[in-house]
Structure formats: C-alpha cells, structure tokens
C-alpha cells in the first residue's frame, strides 16, 4: 500500500494556498502527504483535454507535482460520472456540474460527460496511472425507499441502461489499461455491494469495473464495512480514508430527517474523530494484498479543513502496515519429506 495521499477536491478555492495545483501540492507535501488525487473538473488543477492529448503537458503536470514534493495518485471524474446517468428529478440540481452552455440540455450534457470520462482514461495513461475515480450516476435512486411500491422490472431496466451507457466507457479504459473505480455512495445507483453486483452483471463482469472503497458511506448505511472487504477485495483498486459516525436516536436515523450535516445522526468526521475501525480496514486490505494508495478524503462538519488535513497524514502513516519478508515462525519450519513422514507415524 502507498500513502499517505490526499484528494484535493474539498480543499481547492480562490485563496492561497489552495488556489493552484502547485500551491496546494506544496502545502500538502509539507503536511506529510506523498501523493495528491486530482479533480479533473477543477481548472485550477489541470486541463483534462490537454492532458489526454499532450504527453508534454502530462509530463509537465507530473514534474510540477514532483517538484512540490508529491506524486499524482489518481485522477477523479466524480462530477462528470454523475452526469452519465441523471434522473429528471435531479436535472436542475446537477446542471451546475456541466459547462454553462450545456445546462438545461440533458442529452448534450450526458454526451459531454461520456467524452470527459474517455478523456480521463487517456489522461490517466499519459500520467502513468492505473486507476481512476468516478461516480455511476443514478436512475433508480428516487425509488430507493418507494411508496407506492416499485413496479416489477423497473430496477432491472435502470441497471440495464446503466450497463448500456457505461460499457463503452469501460472499454475505453480497457484500451488504456486503467481501472475505472466507482465510489459506492448513497445518491448513486451503485451504493453498496448488491448494487455493484447488479452493475457487474449489466456490464458482463467487465474487468475494468472496480471499486473505490470508502468506509464512511457504509457506516452511514449501517453496513458491515469490514466484511465488505472480504466479499469484494478483488475489485477494490482505490481507497478513500474517510471517517464517519452514526448515532441514531429516538428521533432520527439513517435518512437524516432533512437536517443539515451537523445535526444528522450520520456525519462525516475528520480522521480519528469518528467510529471507523481503520485498524481493521488497513489489516484486511494488507491481508488481501491491496497495492493502491491510501488517500484522505476530508469532509468534516465540525473541524477546519486545514486542521483535518494536518492530522490526516500522520494518522494514515501510523495505520499503514509493512508486510514481513518472512513468517514469524520460519525458524521452526523447513521442508523435509522424510521428517514429515516420521512425524505422522508413517515410518
């Protein structure tokens, strides 16, 4: 496992030190991070189309980050991926993720989003990356807890359409040798293990359809996020290290009661301030041979982001596990077929 890394999306803004990629990368390096995950929709960070087309520009991005003291861990198209599949109920809310000239034009917006993902596949390869982060979008989410009941076949139709839209994108990532990792997230049709399995069926088990593992979203769904790793470790290719807490009361639970973040039973927290068992997570990922980055995603309703970032790097570093080069009981081992037979009483 590599790290600590940090996702820049929640930090970028108009004021220094988070006004440019160079400034943000330098600040993060000084805070103890070895890598940065870059949001491709933020022009303060990069020009996605240029990175897809120009090896010189891609090399320049890598060099600028290296000079600042960090590597590029992965690219992210969370916002563009969201626009690959949008239920009409969310058209207005999600329009803000698209270029201004495409707002109010769902078909054109969706075509733009697909092209963005394909550019991201090419840019990732030019940058020497082998994994990419995104969202699936959603058709069925408005019906996640339905009344009246969902009609038969509706969910199957939603996932069939998701498969139809994402298969050409997954093929584009296969051409570039890059894994497309979906962050399983409430609000997306891919939000837990079963919905990910539905999607895998819809894309024919595509080898590039993989998972960005973020335990915070499973805490807020009251899921067993450790057993999730047992089930899906062979598809986990990215890891967001994000904390959360879930404290249901006699008044509110999983759905949050339309409350602001600070008042919800389920809240995202800075690392170490929530309930996630990171010791268990890092142990399981190490057990199963996870080789990607451990990347902080900071989203806390209480703590200042700079404080959360400064605390996050040493927290991640302290949880990373270096695998031994030999077993602790090797001294008692050794292969001797004749001795084995004697020990078994076979002569």
Query: Is pTM beyond 0.85 here?
Result: yes
Domains, the chain, ordered by start? 2-343 (3.20.20.150)
Kindly state the helix (H) or strand (E) to which residue 294 belongs, with its residue range.
Answer: strand 293-296
287-312: burial string, b at 16+ Cβ within 10 Å, e else:
eeebebbbbbbbbbeeeebeebbbbb
pLDDT at 151: 96
Residue 327 pLDDT: 76
* Segments of the chain with pLDDT less than 70: 332-333
**Tell me, what's the pLDDT at 323?**
87
- Residue 255 parent element (H or E): none
> Quick one: pLDDT at residue 150?
95
> Which single residue is written with the structure tokens 């496992």?
1
pLDDT for 295:
98
For 42-86, the pLDDT digits (tens) are 999 999 999 999 999 999 999 999 999 999 999 999 999 999 999
Q: Are 219 and 274 in contact (CB under 8 A)?
A: yes
**pLDDT value of residue 332:** 67
Q: What pLDDT does 135 receive?
A: 98
| Cβ–Cβ < 8 Å for 106, 157 | no
């Amino acid at each position: 496992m590599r790290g600590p890394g940090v996702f820049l999306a929640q930090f970028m803004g108009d004021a220094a030190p988070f006004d440019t990629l160079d400034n943000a990368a330098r600040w993060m390096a000084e805070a103890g991070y070895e890598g940065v995950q870059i949001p491709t929709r933020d022009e303060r960070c990069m020009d996605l189309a240029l990175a897809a087309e120009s090896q010189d520009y891609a090399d320049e991005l890598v060099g600028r980050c290296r000079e600042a003291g960090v590597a590029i861990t992965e690219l992210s198209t969370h916002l563009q991926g969201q626009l690959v599949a949008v239920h009409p109920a969310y058209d207005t809310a999600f329009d803000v993720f698209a270029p201004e000239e495409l707002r109010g034009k769902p078909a054109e917006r969706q075509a733009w989003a697909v092209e963005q993902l394909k550019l991201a596949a090419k840019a990732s390869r030019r940058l020497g990356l082998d994994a990419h982060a995104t969202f699936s979008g959603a058709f069925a989410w408005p019906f996640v807890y339905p009344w009246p009941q969902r009609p038969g076949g509706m969910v199957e139709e939603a996932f069939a359409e998701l498969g139809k839209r994402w298969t050409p994108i997954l093929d584009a990532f296969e051409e570039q040798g890059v894994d497309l990792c979906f962050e399983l997230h409430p609000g997306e049709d891919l939000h837990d293990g079963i919905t990910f399995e539905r999607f895998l069926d819809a894309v024919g088990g595509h080898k590039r359809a993989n998972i960005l593992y973020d335990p915070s979203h499973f805490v807020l769904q009251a899921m067993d996020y450790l057993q999730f790793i047992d089930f899906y470790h062979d598809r986990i290719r990215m890891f967001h290290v994000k904390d959360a807490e879930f404290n249901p009361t006699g008044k509110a639970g999983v759905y949050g009661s339309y409350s602001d973040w600070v008042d919800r039973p389920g809240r995202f927290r800075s690392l170490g301030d929530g309930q996630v068992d990171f010791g268990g997570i890092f142990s399981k990922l190490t057990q199963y041979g996870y080789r990607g980055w451990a990347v902080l995603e900071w989203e806390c309703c209480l703590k200042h982001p700079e404080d959360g970032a400064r605390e996050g790097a040493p927290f991640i570093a302290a949880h990373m596990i270096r695998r031994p080069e030999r077993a602790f009981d090797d001294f008692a081992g050794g292969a001797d077929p004749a001795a084995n037979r004697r020990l078994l009483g076979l002569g």
